[in-house]
């Protein structure tokens, strides 16, 4: 497994010259404390009004910095996915990484760049169906196709409702876009079922 902590130290050392949210806040405060050259003559005459304006402006900047630092849920999800990808399982380390990303925008940006390296799952057209999509599933969770002997199962078969599978006894509900029954949808299952029946006799 890649030593990502060493990689993080290297990335952080490269970016020490960049302005983080915390350093930005200090710089803004320092700049606001120093008047512009043209304003030195008028500063003594308007200290009260300038002071109130500066405080209001500072509060706005503080709020903007806080909003910039707050981590979005999708960003946390991406960072967690990256940690899982590199097989980091230590809960203390994971919590520490997330805390640092919440507090430091610079570190978060680095981790989010790394998160882009995580392979995305390939979308596939899954033709399987769940039992709760079949009219043969009763409210009590029993399979009517099994009761009628249409599939190789006990007469009181209680299938897992949300398990994706291919079933000869499948019969789509009226809301289904594809109204083909299991026998038409997966014709190969009929031969498999016949073979199993012969093997059981």
* pLDDT score at 188: 85
Q: Which tokens is 130 given?
A: 């769940």
> How do the pLDDT tens digits run along the chain, 201 residues long?
446 666 666 666 665 554 444 444 444 334 334 444 444 444 444 444 455 556 666 555 555 455 456 888 889 999 998 998 888 899 999 999 999 999 999 999 999 999 988 887 665 668 899 999 999 999 999 999 999 999 989 999 999 988 899 999 999 998 888 899 999 999 888 766 655 543 333
Q: Output DSSP code: residue 119.
A: P
* pLDDT score at 201: 31
Q: Taking CA 110 as the corner, what is the angle to CA 19 and CA 5, rounded to the nearest 5 degrees?
A: 115
Q: What is the pTM of this model?
A: 0.37
Q: Where are the domains positioned within the chain?
A: 4-115, 126-201
* pLDDT score at 174: 87
Closest residue by Cα to residue 132 from 96, 167, 94, 88? 167
Helices (H) and strands (E) in the chain, counts: 9, 0
Helix axes 91-103, 73-85, angle to 10 degrees: 140
* pLDDT score at 61: 56
* pLDDT score at 5: 65
Burial 83-119 (b: 16+ CB within 10 A, else e): beeeebeeeeeeeebbeebeebbbbbbbbbebbeeee
């Amino acid at each position: 497994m890649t030593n990502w902590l060493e990689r993080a130290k290297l990335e952080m050392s490269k970016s020490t010259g960049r302005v983080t949210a915390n350093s930005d806040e200090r710089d803004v405060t320092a700049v606001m404390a120093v008047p512009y050259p043209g304003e030195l003559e008028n500063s003594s005459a308007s200290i009260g009004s300038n002071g109130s304006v500066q405080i209001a402006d500072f509060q706005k900047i503080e709020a903007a910095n806080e909003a910039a630092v707050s981590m979005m849920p999708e960003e946390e999800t991406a960072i967690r996915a990256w940690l899982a990808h590199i097989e980091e399982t230590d809960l203390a380390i994971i919590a520490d990484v997330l805390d640092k990303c919440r507090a430091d925008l610079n570190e978060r940006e680095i981790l989010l760049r790394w998160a882009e390296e995580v392979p995305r799952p390939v979308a596939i057209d899954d033709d399987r169906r769940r039992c709760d999509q079949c009219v043969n599933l009763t409210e009590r969770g029993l399979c009517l196709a099994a009761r009628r002997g249409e599939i190789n199962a006990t007469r009181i078969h209680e299938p897992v409702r949300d398990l994706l599978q291919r079933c000869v006894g499948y019969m789509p509900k009226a809301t289904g876009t594809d109204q083909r029954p299991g026998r038409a949808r997966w014709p190969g299952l009929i031969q498999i079922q016949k073979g199993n029946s012969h093997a059981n006799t």
